[in-house]
Amino acid sequence: MNPFKEGTTSHYDFEIMKDLKWHCTKCELRSGQAKTWQIWRQEKGLQLDKDEKDNWFNKIHCENCDQTTVHRKLRSLEINDGTKARSGIPGKLAKKIKEYYGCIDAYSLRKEVPTKLEIDHRKPQVRWDNDEDINDVNMSNGVIEERFMLLTRENNLLKSRKCEKCNQTGERQTGYNIDFFYMGTKVYEEHIGCEGCFWFNPDKWREAINNIVKDYRG
């Protein structure tokens, strides 16, 4: 059964992809944004297939448009019931979060225009045990810092891939290819969770490294 509302782009694409074959995003499918496919996986519980490089797409030749394009494929029509729901972030709260962080991207430390930044959960959805609580528009700065950070679309997708790989392999992913965790080790442990990983809190991660350097210098 198609999980999307009839008449929507996602409903159309699901109808095309339900044959469980690779389909061209240029001439067959209507969804062109990577964010759409992330929602399919993380919020709708749909199982997308990967290529041999572990990407959620496959760049192959399309016989229809005679070009090498990005293709997408459903691995199964079964929906993952373990997917936990997001509650959404009200516009007023979103504005408050961006102002609190000064519109600084947590990965690059660059100041961006507000429209280029996305509010990302520190703990990835793939690690949630329950549906998300309602996000109060009057949320305190302390709770904001505990739950959220700002990332551009590109960096948010990068974080998503790192967290999904960690969830699949049980091996935490490095930041900037530096094998360091401010709490725990490279092995994901339930009692520690995501704490200590660069992708959970880049600011704490940098602070911990700076403290080590200061101690070393005496």
What pLDDT, on the 0 to 100 scale, is given for residue 60? 96
What pLDDT, on the 0 to 100 scale, is given for residue 39? 82
Query: Facing residues of 48 across strands?
Result: 74
CA distance 29 to 47: 17
Position 164: which residue type? Answer: E
The sign one gets for the Cα dihedral 94, 99, 100, 101 is: positive
What pLDDT, on the 0 to 100 scale, is given for residue 84? 46
Lookup: tokens for 204: 């704490």
What pLDDT, on the 0 to 100 scale, is given for residue 82? 53
Buried b (16+ CB within 10 A) or exposed e, 33-47: ebeebbebbbebbbe
pLDDT tens by residue, the chain, 218 residues: 898 999 999 999 999 999 999 999 999 999 877 778 888 887 788 889 989 888 889 999 999 999 999 999 999 888 776 544 455 788 899 999 999 999 999 999 999 999 999 999 999 988 987 877 788 999 999 999 999 999 998 999 899 989 989 999 999 999 999 999 999 999 999 999 999 999 999 999 999 999 999 988 86
- pTM score, whole prediction: 0.67
Give phi and psi for 119, each to the nearest 5: -90, 115
What pLDDT, on the 0 to 100 scale, is given for residue 78? 82
What pLDDT, on the 0 to 100 scale, is given for residue 79? 76
